[in-house]
């Protein structure tokens, strides 16, 4: 399972490097467009469309990063007072829901991408699928990390229950 996570981390690192490059491109496009608009009363025709695509990509890459780093908002008042078994069950539920959400995002993201192939963006004339292809890409990482954490949580529950049985004997 650690080999699976290692490959998942390496591929996700490539996606993060790509996101960093996109950030630089977005800053350059927006900066150039602002300078051209206010300095020369001109502008880049596609200067708003491409940064919007990049922001959409950032959103879904950040969602996958949130699953990877377990950064999503959670209410800890109950879990701080609950025992380890209840916390393990809640984590099991959380990772199962994340996995289901990843599958849903993948399925419908893929359908949206296929549907987006039929239309084109007005300024760049790129297929509209560019806006949606990031959904199945990020969903693969959401599914992968959720599955990894789910399996690890199940292993942890089994290990904890075995330790409990040994102490009781």
> Nearest Cα to 134, choosing from 64, 84, 80?
64
Q: Give me the pLDDT at residue 137, please.
A: 96
pLDDT band at 164 (very low <50, low <70, confident <90, very high): low
**How far apart are alpha carbons 74 and 106 in whole angstroms?**
24
The mean of the pLDDT values for the chain is 90
Per the model's pLDDT, the better-predicted residue between 56 and 72 turns out to be 56
Residue environment code for 85-112, b if the CB has 16+ CB neighbours within 10 A, otherwise e:
eeebeebbebbeebbebbeebbeebeeb
Give the lowest-confidence range in 18-32, 105-119, 150-164.
150-164
Residue 13 has pLDDT above 50, yes or no: yes
Per the model's pLDDT, the better-predicted residue between 87 and 103 turns out to be 103
State which residues form the domain around 82: 2-168
Q: Report how many domains make up the chain.
A: 1
């Amino acid at each position: 399972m650690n080999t699976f996570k290692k490959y998942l981390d390496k591929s996700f690192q490539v996606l993060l490097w790509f996101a960093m490059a996109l950030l630089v491109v977005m800053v350059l496009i927006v900066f150039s467009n602002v300078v051209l608009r206010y300095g020369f009363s001109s502008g880049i025709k596609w200067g708003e469309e491409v940064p919007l695509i990049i922001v959409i990509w950032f959103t879904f890459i950040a969602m996958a990063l949130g699953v990877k780093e377990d950064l999503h908002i959670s209410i800890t008042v109950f879990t701080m007072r609950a025992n380890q078994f209840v916390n393990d069950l809640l984590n099991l539920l959380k990772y199962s829901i994340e996995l289901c959400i990843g599958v849903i995002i993948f399925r419908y993201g893929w359908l949206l991408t296929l549907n987006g192939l039929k239309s084109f963006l007005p300024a760049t004339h790129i297929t509209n699928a560019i806006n949606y292809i990031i959904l199945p890409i990020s969903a693969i990482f959401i599914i992968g990390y959720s599955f990894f954490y789910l399996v690890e949580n199940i292993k942890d529950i089994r290990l904890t229950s075995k330790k409990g049985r040994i102490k009781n004997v």
